A and B are shown apart, each in its own frame.
Chain A
């Protein structure tokens, strides 16, 4: 599936919810589906800075695709990183670099993009894209 198609799926899924409670409950549930990072990668340097909770992300290449795994000590943050990983994992690095993130607004999580929010959604996106840039450089 392309990044765009996954984003559209997410928008569809989130459009079913009528209030914040259902939306957050779904995010919490998505957190439970997160492909967990191997314990050995839960290191200080894999922590994404700018988050009030801890978020670890690990990336590796599977042929020409980037595979992300992650974890967080906070449940909502885990849901957020799970959404991002669903969108960006198993994708070609160039597609990750080129992808826009407008879907975040469309699924009602725009508030998490504000720099005053302490969950670091912006830092997470940046970190995933940085991995993609690094792998893209390797491929070339």
Chain B
């Protein structure tokens, strides 16, 4: 079995931690200390303290294997793809298309041309929102959830402005879960599109997307699922979900920034017009008429992020080698431990208390601004996110300016959570 096909048979200089041996026993091998050695950044200090990185929901860290794929590309076969007749171009094209196949396999898409390489989740959402302008008419309805990131709200508001469609919102409850009975009431034959995140970035709630998709399809609406927060935790199967569009960013799952994927069912991608014009996306061009290339190239104008795409493939390999079951089980353990330990602190309130949630703890200290706590935690080497997490409607619901969000990844440890807890206690003492 070729475990790192992205690297091929190429020998990698400066790749000391390729875990070639023992990978077949990967399930039994989950050892966080070994895994941490794959991440050079985890060895560094911040403000004189060992880095405790709990901002994984904003961006994940990058393992050596992915860094090596990036270095390998620029060191050995950097060339433009799909056009060149020379060997380097062929090689780069092969690797890039190999990455697309890995992504297809990972998300279990029926065909590789249903995988559109994008610059990230936001790009994927905008591509679909732009395409739907032509498909919607005045009075049509589109449904969004109250748990969305701004990037899954604003493009649809812009779509509504262009098309005259009406935006409806599935409300949330105190636990940070969507109120499904309200969703049922919003659905009608007027509903054309539903967009919802798989997992909330601000609270970590796992949304019941299976049921959301089924119900939307029952009234003939298409569904786009924003998988940006899900992709590091859950291996989504787009065919089993029967979802119409699924979008992710590579940098949320150990890959580089500036690259992502849009999965779209072939029938939908064929219906949508191209998003951007340029090279790569055409079949024939004359000043009278241009015909467009087939899928996926129709949506991939210009030179793509070739290196990023290849490194995305390496990131998918890396995470699958660790195994999503292992990742899930371990992160759940971290979540439970962090929740228990943080709640020992008097006056600490956790937002997002659904039983179905990923390893995100969003919290506040009574009467203390989240910004103050975040600033002091940074001085102690602990990286958390503070603020509204680009999800202002959620903060408005709870009537708070923001939260402190600690989000955990499979390379974090309980010892690090202890550092966070002590840090929060110290911050509380200084700020009270």
A residues 112-135 near B (Cβ < 8 Å) are: 118-119
Number of A-B residue pairs, CB cutoff 8 Å, is 41
B371 contact set on A, CB distance < 8 A: 52-53, 74, 76-77, 118-119
Whether, in the assembled complex, A28 has its beta carbon less than 8 Å from a beta carbon of chain B, the answer is yes
User: Known contacts A52-B386, A118-B387: does B401 contact A24 (CB below 8 Å)?
Assistant: no
- Size class of the contact patch on chain A: 10 to 19
Q: Does B425 contact A (CB under 8 A)?
A: no
Segment at the A interface, from B84-92, B313-321, B372-380: B372-380
Q: Mark A49-92, 1 if CB is under 8 A from B, else 0.
A: 00011100000000000000000011111000000000000000
Q: Are B430 and A24 in contact (CB under 8 A)?
A: yes
Which residues of chain A are near B190, meaning CB under 8 Å?
A: none
Q: A20-B379, A24-B430 are in contact. Are A76 and B372 (CB under 8 A)?
A: yes
**Once the chains are docked, how many angstroms separate the CA of A25 from the CA of B431?**
8
Give complex CA distance A119, B387 in Å. 11
Closest Cβ–Cβ distance, residue B396 to chain A (whole Å) = 15
Given contact pairs A24-B430, A28-B431, A75 touches B379 in the complex (Cβ within 8 A):
no
**Taking the complex as formed, is B63 at the interface, i.e. its CB lies under 8 A from any CB of chain A?**
no
**B145-173 interface mask toward A, CB cutoff 8 Å, 1 = contact, 0 = none?**
00000000000000000000000000000
Q: Are A54 and B401 in contact (CB under 8 A)?
A: yes
Contacts of A28 in B (CB 8 A): 430-431
Residue of B368, B375, B386 contacting most chain A CB atoms (<10 Å): B375
Asked whether, in the complex, the Cβ of A24 is within 8 Å of the Cβ of B387, the reply is no
Q: Known contacts A24-B430, A52-B371, A119-B375; decide if A73 and B401 are in contact (CB<8 Å).
A: yes
User: Closest CB of chain B to A77's CB: distance in Å?
Assistant: 7
Residues of B within 8 A of A24 (CB): 375-376, 379, 430
Q: How far is the CB of B336 from chain A (nearest CB, A)?
A: 29
Which residues of chain B from 384 to 406 have any CB-CB distance to chain A below 8 Å in the complex? Answer: 386-387, 401-402
In this complex, which of A21, A25, A52 has the most chain B Cβ atoms within 10 angstroms of its Cβ?
A52
Give A119's nearest chain B residue, CB to CB: B371
CB neighbours (8 Å) of A74 from chain B are: 369, 371-372
Distance in angstroms from A51 CB to nearest chain B CB is 8
| B387→A25 contact, CB < 8 A | no
Q: Is the CB–CB distance between A53 and B431 below 8 Å?
A: no
| Residues 391-427 of chain B, each 1 if its beta carbon lies under 8 Å from chain A, else 0 | 0000000000110000000000000000000000000
In the bound complex, residues from chain A placing their C-beta under 8 Å from that of B181 are: none
Per the bound structure, the CA–CA distance linking A77 and B373 in Å amounts to 12
Which B residue sits closest to A73, measured CB to CB?
A: B369
Give the shortest distance, in Å, between A95 (CB) and chain B (any CB).
30
A74 CA / B427 CA spacing, docked (Å): 13
Q: How far is the CB of B392 from chain A (nearest CB, A)?
A: 12
Q: How far is the CA of A74 from the CA of B430 in the complex (A)?
A: 13
- Does B379 lie within 8 Å of A76, measured CB to CB? no
Smallest beta-carbon distance B223→chain A, Å: 34
Measured between beta carbons, the chain A residues less than 8 angstroms from B379 are 20-21, 24
Binding site for A on B (CB under 8 A): 47, 368-369, 371-372, 375-376, 379, 386-387, 401-402, 430-431
